[in-house]
Amino acid sequence: MRAVLPHCATQGVKIVTNMGAANPLAAARRVAAICKDLGFKNQRVAAVTGDDVLDILRADDADIIETGLRASQMQASLVSANAYIGARPIADALDQGATIVITGRVSDPALFLGPLLHEFGWRDDDWANLGRGVMAGHLLECAGQITGGYFADPGVKDISGLARLGFPIGIVDETGAIEITKLPESGGAVTTATCKEQLLYEIGDPAAYMQPDVVADFSNVRVNEIARDRVVLSGASGKPAPPTLKCSVGYRDGFIGEGQMSYAGPGAFSRAKLAGEIVRERLGIVGVATSELRIDIIGADSLHGAATPQTNSEPYEARLRVVGRTETAAAAQLIGEEVESLYTNGPAGGGGAWKGVKPIVAIASAYIAREKVRPAVTFVET
């Protein structure tokens, strides 16, 4: 905020952000203090709350999808539950004169749809325009991804100037059509290809993209390049919003213990592989019970495991990574210690050992009735 406020506040640019995370009201107070510190007393800071639905989740004894358990069966381990709320409270805050809107958990496109509702006065049941607004938000939500960042693949899809990548600018009209562009002379590129990749990014069914405000339909979108780094997308539509809201549920799920060791020179891969076999056997000897255990050689088989294509040449360097999930921190600690002991008790040439233990707060999903979620807008004094 200290970086952007001097530019935005003096130019009348409003800010909408989900940086409120788990405590948007506290974040709004902090932003208000920064505004005061920088001398921008004309700013009106609003917090959007109501996404914290842990009490509702417990009261409904909701199903936790990935675990197959009900909330009551996970009572002791539940940490949080936050609903993906929609764009209306953001629009309400802007309608009430907010210049900075801080949210917690909202759907990513809602950060962009909210200002469109405010600017164009679209109704909450204008499904066609809401679908178009979601398209605009979906195209912009990943920042430099659409200007070539995540698109880049050297020798296949070359993009220049990534060290000074230009973030996207979305110019939306009242019909919901959007032009994607970026600042002149900034790095990256806006092309039909970058826009199409982003349009399909994380989309299950392009004709039914589920959002809290609308079920967006991208199946008839048209993409046209009108000039260099200027692409127009139109043709999205929408259907009525679903009756439920998705929630991200955080819960305690044990501990992760990890250890790493590097090997280099001739036979590095073979020595790293032997080291992993030693640690696996040692964990059994000392009685470390793991619900999950991975033994990877980073850069050789850590992503695709047994499906990794085999070659006749071994890498000149290899890094062993052993990581396991345990019920206690003490058991997790032993994993790293067994890797560290490879210094003198394992294959030759090991070095650069690292170990660590951390608690796991896992994320699962649940659904609750939308009418039970009550977003609110609170203004904070600057």
Q: Is the pLDDT of residue 163 over 80?
A: yes
Q: Is the pLDDT of residue 262 over 80?
A: yes
How far from 163 is each of 148, 187, 207, 249, CA to CA, in Å? 11, 7, 36, 36
Taking residues 81-110, what's their average pLDDT? 98
Q: Is the pLDDT of residue 19 over 70?
A: yes
Task: Report the alpha-carbon distance of residue 22 to residue 306 in Å, rounded.
Answer: 39
Task: Report the alpha-carbon distance of residue 60 to residue 53 in Å, rounded.
Answer: 11
Q: pTM of the entire structure?
A: 0.90
Q: Is the pLDDT of residue 313 over 80?
A: no
The pLDDT, as a whole number, for residue 195 is: 98
Check if the beta carbon of residue 241 is closer than 8 Å to that of residue 123: no
Task: Quick: pLDDT tens for 180-229.
Answer: 999 999 999 999 999 999 999 999 999 999 999 999 999 999 999 999 99
Terminal C-alpha separation, the chain: 14
CB-based contacts of 27, cutoff 8 Å, min separation 6: 19, 20, 21, 47, 102
Q: List, by residue range, all CATH 3.30.70.1440 domains of the chain.
A: 253-359
The pLDDT, as a whole number, for residue 87 is: 98
The pLDDT, as a whole number, for residue 308 is: 65
Task: Report the alpha-carbon distance of residue 200 to residue 198 in Å, rounded.
Answer: 5
The pLDDT, as a whole number, for residue 265 is: 87
CB-based contacts of 300, cutoff 8 Å, min separation 6: 269, 272, 308, 315, 318
Q: Is the pLDDT of residue 305 over 90?
A: no
**Regarding predicted confidence, which is higher, 302 or 351?**
351
- pLDDT > 90 in the chain, percent: 92
Q: Is the pLDDT of residue 45 over 70?
A: yes
**Helix or strand (DSSP H, E) at 115:** helix 110-120
The pLDDT, as a whole number, for residue 315 is: 79
CB-based contacts of 281, cutoff 8 Å, min separation 6: none
Taking residues 127-149, what's their average pLDDT? 97
Nearest in space to 249 (alpha carbons), one of 80, 14, 37: 80
Residue 241 half-sphere exposure toward CB, CA atoms < 13 A = 23
Task: Report the alpha-carbon distance of residue 64 to residue 109 in Å, rounded.
Answer: 25
The pLDDT, as a whole number, for residue 302 is: 60
Largest CA distance in the chain: 70
Task: Quick: pLDDT tens for 122-133.
Answer: 999 999 999 999
CB-based contacts of 209, cutoff 8 Å, min separation 6: 134, 138, 203, 215, 216, 217, 218
The pLDDT, as a whole number, for residue 306 is: 72
The pLDDT, as a whole number, for residue 312 is: 60
Q: What is the mean pLDDT of the chain?
A: 95
Taking residues 107-113, what's their average pLDDT? 98
Task: Quick: pLDDT tens for 318-333.
Answer: 999 999 999 999 999 9
253-359 CATH, one of 3.20.20.10, 3.30.70.1440, 3.10.20.600, 3.30.2350.10 = 3.30.70.1440
CB-based contacts of 101, cutoff 8 Å, min separation 6: 14, 15, 16, 17, 46, 48, 90, 93, 94, 114
Q: Is the pLDDT of residue 11 over 70?
A: yes
Q: Is the pLDDT of residue 303 over 90?
A: no
Number of Cβ within a 10 Å radius of residue 247? 26
